[in-house]
Amino acid sequence: MSDTVARFRRLLWRSVAGRRQWSVAKQVFLLQAALVVLLVLSGVIALYLQSERDTQSEARRRSIAVAETFAHSPGVLQALAAPQPSKVLQPLTEAGRKAAGVDFIVVMDTHGIRYTHPMPSKIGKRFVGTIGPSLAGRTYTESVHGPLGREMQATVPIEDTHGKVTALVSAGLKVKNVTSEVDRQIPIILTAGAGALAVSTGGTALVGRRLRRQTHSLAPDEMTRMYEHHDTVLHSVREGVLIIGADGRLLLANDEGRRLLRLPADAEGRHLFELPGLDPETVELLASGREATDEVLFAGERLLAVNQRPTDHGGAPGGTVVTLRDTTELQALSGRAEVARERLKLLYDAGLCVGTSLDVRRTAEELARIAVPRFADYVTVDLDDGILHGEEPAPTAATLRRIAVHGIRGDHPLYERDRLIDFKPFTPQARGYGSGHAELVPDLVAAMDWRAQDPQRTENILEYGIQSLISAPIRARGVVLGIANFYRAKREPFDEEDLSLAEELVARAAVSVDNARRYAREHTLAVTLQRSLLPRALPEQSALDVAYRYLPAQSGVSGDWFDVIPLPGSRVALVVGDVVGHGLHAAATMGRLRTAVHNFSTLDLPPDELLSHLDDLVGRIDQDEGGAEDAGEIVGATCLYAIYDPVTRRCAMARAGHLAPALVYPDGSVDYPELPAGPPLGLGGMPFQTAELELAEGTQLVLYTDGLIEDRTRDLDEGMELLRRALAGHPDRSPDASCGAVLEELLPQGPTDDVALLVARTRALTSEQVADWDVPADPAAVGELRRAVTKRLGEWGLQEQAFGMELVLSELVTNAIRYGSEPIRLRLIRDRALVCEVSDGSNTSPHLRYAATTDEGGRGLFLVQQMTERWGTRYSPQGKVIWAEMALRGAPPGLPELSLDSFDEL
């Protein structure tokens, strides 16, 4: 019950707290409803309390009566004296309990130990309650929580014939089982309360309807606020407000409306046509009753913006409400604000549209286009001629080149684009270039110094209609790079505010021009360095028919490179590589790697060993450049190295993170050979592997960098398929034509990254160009071998080389027999030079030394060096090869006439 009262109080408090949002009718109804509910609750509470008291009294009375009746019943004393009192008393107490309508009758001894109980399990246990008063001979009642729940019980003594208390009996019942009148009375009370609430609701509805009609359902505080707002509109609002009736009479005018229209004090209630001082146009608009939105009217010297709306919607009385706003000063301010907004918009657009690329010419064009026609009618941009090449500008305006010309018409008489202009020192352009500040010439007709630059051309400019000029220097980082000229024709001339805008506009573009200049300088240096590091011409060789293309990226340079390196024995090495990154660092690294490949190739190493040495070099470069100032400049590169032998038609290749080459076979088919994929250079720890392919004569070997096939718009597989398509079906096409066809197919719009493309068609030396012999391990075989070589040289028409070649092969073969191991072979190759190769199965290599005059030997290799162009050693899986090349000419002069037989013992 207490919870119900608390909830009602909270509900009542919320209702009272929110009464400011209710109308008067709602508040009256709430009060009546609250009274009815309060009366009903009071009745229920009183009935509840009365029921509680009656229940307690009835339970006590019935408990005492039952207990006393059983205590004085005949046979109770005899049952107590029996050996087992519980067997006799338990049936008696249960029968008495049911007959009396109580919940329990318990008989116990004087110590409180039960003889009986409705729950047999409780017999023999101690009685729950107070037995002291009953042992003294009194009847005692109490309310306890016993085994059956909350109980009202009475305890009565059982006395023998001498008045001695021999036992106790307790009877009681649960309080909830006592019948109460509250259940019958509550419905009556609630019905009466509901009837009273219904009667009050009906009365409230009748009263509320009248109140709502009179107050428009407004609460008193809302009506107060409405009056305050009404008073504010009339006296405080800085906008005129008029209410005009349907008959054209002025019903209401606030203070601002009276001031703007100069209305008299008695204007309210009078017809609009009766009011003095109003313009006819104003009276016509106000009396028409039509809608108007920001219509401008003149009221004396004032410019008023009028808004008018009808008030006859929603059942309201006919008429109009009018608002008046003084816009006299606002018109002037809005004009200036519009000009300022347009200028800010121009500067904002210039920030977005000028400097979109690192190209000086394009940046100048963007500056000229953004200013026409929003700021000027014609714009020219003149830059120092050295700027275009990334150089520093000159101190005077004597070498300015016109980079951009743009205007509203194309037939203007201004200097044309790309013309080199020498501005005289007294012209606005020269003064602005020298001072670094913009020059304003509002009237070109009166500017004689400007007209003296080129009298005939300036006269044509004036006749064309150009009247005003601003020459703003393009200045960045304290250096003047050129001049931007803004011209106006047949509109308001430039003023001081326009001068500030021109300076700001050019200042924003100047940073982009200077960035483009710096980029052009760096790009020129990088391209120059890169081209100086690449091969300028292909070396002469007979093994391959080679063509190449190298395309630098449209922006920046990278480290792509290629090479064709002749090797001993008519062999040729093909190299293609790519250094990660762009700029001078990548180009310089590329030059170092290309030089390293040339140096390693002179050792005649297999492809896998050469890449291993190159990988170590890149690792050392990373360590050397790993300082704090070079953090982030980590070198990474890929490389493909191939060696083609025209004698055996075998090609040995190895790659370090590079793409596999394409092979175009003589039948026109294209294939990408399966080459072991080694890691990129610089990672270290992983070995490289060499793969050998036998190529038919006429096979085209296509080497390339990733810039050829990879692009933002396509993936690697798609690019390789395009390359296959460009190469397939043209076996007879020359390597140079293949290069052109590939670039046209894969890069029609130009490369976004550097591209190196190398196409080599294989050739093979015929059997007439190669002769070889098996050499027995017997020094006596050297003489026979010399005669066979002399005979073959005669067949080749090289009799002049016979003497020198016999000296060379005698030394080399003798050394192989003496210090090498079998098998020993001799091979002669007639190509661009006469090559002698002696191979054996050992890995020991001879060394050149200078013998003293008293030494008996040690002069053989010295003679070989003197008789040949070059000689050397290369190693193979089967041993080594000592080779020597002799030019196809007569014997070198100055050698003594020696007999060939004297070398039989070498």
CA dist., res. 109 & res. 116, Å (int): 10
The amino acid at residue 692 is E
Three-class secondary structure of residue 201 per DSSP: helix
At 726, the pLDDT band (50, 70, 90 cuts) reads very high
193 pLDDT more than 90: no
Q: Quick one: pLDDT at residue 380?
A: 93
Angstrom distance (rounded) from CA 650 to CA 539: 21
What mean pLDDT is predicted for residues 42-59?
70
Range of 217-231, 591-605, 876-890 with top mean pLDDT = 591-605
Is the predicted pLDDT of residue 566 greater than 80, yes or no? Answer: yes
320 vs 219 pLDDT, higher one: 320
The model's pLDDT over 415-433, given as tens digits with 9 standing for 90+, comes to 998 888 888 888 998 998 8
In Å, how far from its chain's centre is CA 209? 65
Tell me what pLDDT residue 760 has.
95
Closest CA relative to residue 288, chosen from 261, 268, 308, 266:
308
Mean pLDDT of the chain: 80
Give the per-residue pLDDT at 534: 74
Give, in degrees to the nearest 5, the angle at Cα 668 between 663 and 672.
Answer: 25
At residue 906, the pLDDT reads 31
Alpha-helix residue ranges (DSSP H) falling in 72-181: 76-81, 85-100, 132-135
Closest C-alpha among 249, 277, 252 to residue 263: 277
| pLDDT number for residue 329 | 63
Residue 303 has a pLDDT of: 76
pLDDT for res 631: 43
pLDDT at 27 over 80: no
Q: How confident is the model at residue 328 (pLDDT cuts 50, 70, 90)?
A: low
Task: Identify the CA nearest to 482 among candidates 434, 520, 425, 521.
Answer: 434
Select, from the ranges 515-519, 629-633, 651-655, the one with the highest average predicted confidence (pLDDT): 651-655
* pLDDT given for residue 826 in this prediction: 87
Mean pLDDT within 32-41: 72
Cα–Cα nearest to 864, from 789, 793, 814: 814
Return the DSSP state at 694.
Answer: E
Sign of the CA dihedral with 156 first, then 161, 164, and 165 last: negative
Confidence at residue 24, expressed as pLDDT on a 0 to 100 scale: 57
Sign, Cα dihedral of 264, 268, 274, 278: positive
Residue 395 preceded by cis peptide, ω within 30: no
Q: Which residue has the higher pLDDT, 861 or 841?
A: 841
Cβ atoms of 654 and 578 closer than 8 Å: no
State the average pLDDT over residues 264-272: 81
Among the ranges given (122-126, 298-302, 606-610, 639-643), the one the predictor scored with the smallest mean pLDDT: 298-302
Answer yes or no: is pLDDT of 902 > 70.
Answer: no
Report the percent of the chain where pLDDT is more than 70: 81
Average pLDDT over residues 205-223: 67
pLDDT band at 691 (very low <50, low <70, confident <90, very high): very high
Distance (Å, rounded) from C-alpha 2 to C-alpha 5?
5
Q: Are 638 and 658 in contact (CB under 8 A)?
A: yes
Residue identified by tokens 């409180």 is 112
For position 626, what pLDDT does the model report?
57
Write 890-898 long-range contacts (CB < 8 A, 24+).
890/800, 890/801, 891/800, 891/801, 891/803, 891/804, 891/867, 892/804, 892/866, 892/867, 895/866, 895/867, 898/807
pLDDT surpassing 80 at residue 865: no
pLDDT tier, 208 (very low <50, low <70, confident <90, very high otherwise): low
pLDDT band at 554 (very low <50, low <70, confident <90, very high): low
Q: What is the pLDDT of residue 450?
A: 85
Q: Percentage of the chain with pLDDT > 90?
A: 15
| CB neighbourhood size of 647 (10 A) | 21
The CA distance from 555 to 677, in Å, is 31
Which comes out higher in pLDDT, residue 149 or 638?
Answer: 638
Count CA within 13 A, CB hemisphere, residue 120.
5
Flag whether pLDDT at 628 surpasses 80. Answer: no
The whole-number pLDDT of residue 1 equals 44
In this model, does residue 541 exceed pLDDT 90?
no
Q: In angstroms, rounded to a whole number, what is the distance separating the alpha carbons of residues 181 and 57?
A: 13
- Give counts: helices (H), strands (E), the chain: 22, 31
Based on the number of CB atoms within 10 Å of its own CB, is 367 exposed (0-12), middle (13-18) or buried (19 or more)?
A: buried
Residue bearing tokens 């490949």? 597
Tokens of 392: 């520093």
**H or E stretch at 459:** helix 455-464
Residue 782, pLDDT > 80, answer yes
Please provide residue 834's backbone torsions phi and psi, each rounded to the nearest 5 degrees: -95, 120
Asked if residue 681 has pLDDT above 70, the reply is yes
Least confident among 140-149, 230-239, 355-364, 376-385: 230-239
Please answer whether residues 791 and 802 qualify as being in contact, where contact means their C-beta atoms are separated by less than 8 angstroms: no
Beta strands 420-421 and 400-407, pairing class = antiparallel
Between these two residues, 233 and 80, which has the higher pLDDT value?
A: 80
Cis peptide before 280 (omega within 30 of 0): no
Rounded to an integer, the average pLDDT of 764-788 is 85
Evaluate if residue 255 carries a pLDDT over 70: yes
Lowest mean pLDDT among 13-27, 141-155, 539-553, 649-663: 13-27
Give the pLDDT band of residue 12 (cuts 50, 70, 90). very low
Angstrom CA distances, 390 to 107, 386, 525, stand at 124, 6, 9
Q: Are 515 and 358 in contact (CB under 8 A)?
A: yes
Q: Which residue has the higher pLDDT, 221 or 598?
A: 598
Residue 625 reports pLDDT greater than 50: yes
pLDDT for position 51: 65
Per-residue confidence (pLDDT) for residue 762, from 0 to 100: 93
| Closest to 760 (Cα-Cα) out of 562, 601, 590, 536 | 562
How far are the Cα atoms of 123, 299, 605 from residue 775, in angstroms, in the given order?
132, 126, 26
What are φ and ψ of residue 691, in 5° steps? -115, 140
621 vs 236, higher pLDDT = 621
Phi/psi at 766 (nearest 5 deg)? -75, 170
